[in-house]
């Protein structure tokens, strides 16, 4: 086959693909590969300006994994991600169930809730930092006005509470996203099935657990997976609210990676943490893709 006819039959597809391949190559593949390379080299404050960096194999990986901070930070990341996604999903689901119903001002309420999602995380973090302030925060003010508590809670300054503080902010931030995806799924469900169930005398719980949730499985797993990936790499919100403190109570993998790279100039170790995050999310995505592909059959 000569070039011309190959071009006409199949080759032109590659021409259409080229822009996105070039874009992905420069902005996605290159940084990932570069990050991987520097994680195997010794790139730190002393060697940064030198042209040739020493190859050190897995030394950086071993140093990070054996660092006692790693376990602490990893645990924080897990708690933060799972805690956020769990509550975001439950609340988002409840709101979605509510908002698919037809009632006056429905669209207005939907739009209003989504506004929260449009606000940049830095702004959300700053606002919540003040809401959760020990002495002057609105949250503590209301809690004490309603006599729910007598002593102000140190939301962000007590190491035992700080994680809960940032979780509240992040859950708030993530609800609209979960809600919108689930509303999309819910509106697509065939109404005839529900009508049949009504005739059979199914109650609300039966309809929820035996019809809605099974039929929504695809949407639910997509929502959860996207939620986990988004939450796992949250940086700005935490950085603004606590900077990873007090002590290391809210230090998660992204904030730690930033600290290693740009506070300590230990780029290799910062890259190691970023790569571990990447690897974890990759494994997670592969499991998800296999799972959802299997379901479709």
Contact residues for other proteins, defined by CB under 8 A: 45-46, 48-50, 129, 133-136, 152, 154, 156-159, 241-248, 259, 262-265
Cα-atom radius of gyration of the chain, to the nearest Å? Answer: 24
Residues 261 and 201: their CA atoms lie apart, in Å, by 61
In the complex with other proteins, which residue's Cβ is closer, 6 or 136? 136
Q: How many CB atoms are located within 10 Å of the residue 56 CB?
A: 16
Is residue 154 a contact partner of residue 161, using CB atoms and an 8 Å limit?
Answer: yes
> How is residue 41 annotated by DSSP?
B
Is residue 92 a contact partner of residue 182, using CB atoms and an 8 Å limit?
Answer: yes
Query: Any idea what the Cα angle at residue 19 is, between residues 18 and 23, rounded to 5°?
Result: 115
**Token duo for residue 192:** 């005839």
**Conformation bin of residue 54: beta by default, left when phi > 0, alpha when psi is -120 to 50:** beta
What's the min distance (Å) between Cβ of 134 and other proteins? Answer: 4
Residues 44 and 103: their CA atoms lie apart, in Å, by 60
In the complex with other proteins, which residue's Cβ is closer, 157 or 292? 157
In the complex with other proteins, which residue's Cβ is closer, 59 or 207? 59
What's the min distance (Å) between Cβ of 194 and other proteins? Answer: 50
What's the min distance (Å) between Cβ of 157 and other proteins? Answer: 5
In the complex with other proteins, which residue's Cβ is closer, 49 or 199? 49
What's the min distance (Å) between Cβ of 259 and other proteins? Answer: 8
What's the min distance (Å) between Cβ of 238 and other proteins? Answer: 12
H/E segment holding residue 201 = none
In the complex with other proteins, which residue's Cβ is closer, 158 or 221? 158
């Amino acid at each position: 086959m000569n070039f011309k006819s190959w071009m006409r039959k199949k080759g032109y597809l590659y021409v259409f693909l080229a822009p996105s391949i070039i874009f992905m190559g420069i902005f996605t593949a290159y940084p990932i590969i570069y990050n991987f390379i520097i994680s195997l080299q010794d790139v730190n404050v002393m060697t940064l300006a030198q042209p040739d960096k020493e190859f050190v194999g897995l030394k950086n990986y071993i140093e990070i994994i054996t660092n006692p901070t790693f376990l602490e930070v990893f645990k924080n990341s897990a708690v933060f991600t799972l805690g956020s996604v769990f509550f975001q999903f439950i609340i988002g689901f409840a709101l979605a169930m509510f908002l698919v119903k037809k009632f006056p001002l429905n669209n207005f309420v939907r739009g209003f809730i989504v506004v929260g999602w449009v606000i940049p995380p830095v702004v959300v973090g700053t606002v919540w930092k003040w809401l959760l302030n020990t002495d002057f925060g609105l949250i503590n003010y209301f809690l004490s006005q309603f006599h729910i508590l007598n002593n102000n809670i140190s939301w962000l300054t007590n190491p035992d509470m700080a994680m809960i503080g940032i979780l509240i902010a992040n859950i708030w931030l993530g609800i609209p996203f979960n809600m919108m995806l689930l509303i999309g799924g819910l509106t697509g469900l065939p109404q005839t099935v529900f009508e049949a169930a009504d005739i059979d005398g199914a109650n609300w719980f039966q309809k929820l657990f035996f019809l809605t949730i099974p039929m929504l499985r695809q949407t639910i797993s997509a929502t959860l997976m996207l939620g986990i990936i988004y939450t796992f790499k949250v940086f700005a919100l935490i950085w603004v609210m606590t900077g990873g403190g007090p002590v290391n109570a809210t230090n998660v993998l992204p904030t730690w990676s930033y600290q290693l790279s740009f506070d300590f100039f230990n780029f290799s170790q910062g890259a190691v943490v970023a790569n571990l995050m990447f690897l974890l999310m990759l494994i997670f995505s592969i499991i998800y893709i296999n799972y959802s592909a299997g379901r479709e059959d």
